[in-house]
Amino acid sequence: MNLVVVESPAKAKTINKYLGKDYKVLASYGHIRDLPSKNGSVDPDNNFQMLWEIDAFSKKYLKEITDTAADSKKIILATDPDREGEAIAWHVKEVLDQKKLLKDRKIERVVFNEITKKAVTKGIENPRDIEPQLVDAYMARRALDYLVGFNISPILWTKLPGSKSAGRVQSVALKLITEREKEIELFNPKEYWTLTSDFTNKDNKNILSKLSLYDGQKIERFTFKNKNEIDEAINIINKSKFTIKDVNTKLFKRNPLAPFTTSTLQQTASGKFGFGASRTMQIAQRLYQGIDIEGETTGLITYMRTDGTSISNEAIDEFRNLIKDNFGKEFLPDQPNSYAGKKAKNAQEAHEAIRPTDINRNPTNIKKYVNADQYKLYELIWSRALSSQMKPAEFDRNTILISSKDNNVNFRASGSMVKFEGFLKVYNIQETDEDSKNILPEIKIGEEVNILKLNDEQHFTEPPPRYSEA
């Protein structure tokens, strides 16, 4: 028999089904060891020596792992494919080594980016060693947590009773929040005015436009600082005669967005559904670990803790086939879209973006197996991933330039219409472009137009917003 160690019991159950009776899959229930909360757990004077303590909660699960390891031919560490997963694998190996259970036994580290039979089998067939650099990164992080947090937290407790801890993350977050709050407090709003005009032509068609040139000068934000200045401009404009100086049509494209990373998924789920970051991750965790479909637990998405935007070549081929079959060749770019240039500075390129494990598993097909929140998040991930491999959306942008006889005053009207849906066929982005709401009439250069109404509007500059959780 072979022992496989994973992090969670839900994952253990699913993987055991895939691997069969020759394997026993046990969960570590997260980390099995940690630094005790007492002085000397990290010794900076002795090469940052660390004292590890087995968690009381983990003792019974660890006993089951060590007992099974004693009767196993091979030990496979299959914890998550990130830094914490690597650290858990290292801790398990260290404990087994201390108990002299690794003698004459093979120990392997395997990873898989999704919990599907194909991915798990492939992972088991391609073992590797524990990655020392990931373990070192974990050690550095824990040492910082301990050395910073252990010294700062007691100060915090005296000033803010009820606070749990301070440290590596909380201190930086607090600094960002307080700096933003100071900006808001010191902010001094400034007044400015804008001017729009409703023009009408001989066919009584309306053209809504914005003032773009006044007294020969381009309009800036603070061109009109108060009511007197805008009133003076209105008087001069009302006495002027206007004609159509130019009509311009340009094609512009909007490219699809990259597939989700952890942070972009949290931000989008917050904006679209009002989900907090932890709620988003809990739902994603469940979709990753597996949903019961027709009696079989199936992982629906790839690993959700990632800052990579790449998608495997195999998945891209499946995406492209689905786009061609369901939407037509016109929606399929000649070459797969690449988002490598848009990666985070420190992205771990080993990780794929968040995507469905099977793009052919349409959201409507799984709706009856999941709850409402899981459906919303799966549909969001599915549509964003698929749309990332589609052609850009194309728009016709029309611009009309309306000018006074002396060319000292110009108004500009813009409107756009969707010419080709492209990726918008699958992934709807919240439209913020005012131009798309402005339908322009057919009009000729040199045609005279009259002012129907001038609309002046007072504005004040606003301070930067407070951070949302996402």
Read off the pLDDT of residues 429-460 as tens digits, 9 standing for 90 and up: 765 455 566 778 888 999 999 999 999 999 99
50: which DSSP letter?
Answer: E
| C-alpha to C-alpha distance for 269 and 304, rounded to whole angstroms | 13
Confidence at residue 55, expressed as pLDDT on a 0 to 100 scale: 82
Q: What angle do CA 85, 87, 92 make, to 5 degrees?
A: 95
Given a cut of 80, is residue 266 above it in pLDDT? yes
Confidence at residue 335, expressed as pLDDT on a 0 to 100 scale: 95
Nearest residue to 10 via CA among 109, 84, 80, 91 = 80
- The dihedrals phi and psi of 109, each to the nearest 5 degrees, come to -110, 125
Confidence at residue 350, expressed as pLDDT on a 0 to 100 scale: 56
State CA 3 to chain mean position distance. Answer: 36
- pLDDT tens by residue, 314-329: 999 999 999 999 999 9
Structure tokens at 33: 């060891």
Residue indicated by tokens 């009009």: 443
Give catalytic residues, as residue numbers.
303
Q: What's the Cα-to-Cα distance from 4 to each of 24, 66, 130, 182, 397, rounded to whole Å?
A: 6, 12, 15, 52, 59
The contacts of residue 397 (CB under 8 Å, 6+ apart) are 249, 250, 251, 252, 414, 415, 416, 435
- The dihedrals phi and psi of 412, each to the nearest 5 degrees, come to -125, 130
Mean pLDDT, residues 365-376: 96
Structure tokens at 291: 């949903």
Nearest residue to 93 via CA among 135, 147, 51, 137 = 135
**Mean per-residue pLDDT of the chain:** 91
Q: What global pTM score does this model have? A: 0.82
DSSP bridge partners of 393: 254
Mean pLDDT, residues 410-415: 95
Given a cut of 70, is residue 371 above it in pLDDT? yes
Structure tokens at 119: 């991915």
- The dihedrals phi and psi of 416, each to the nearest 5 degrees, come to -135, 150
Mean pLDDT, residues 265-269: 96
* Continuous segment of H or E residues that includes residue 181: helix 168-186
Mean pLDDT, residues 381-392: 97
Confidence at residue 347, expressed as pLDDT on a 0 to 100 scale: 46
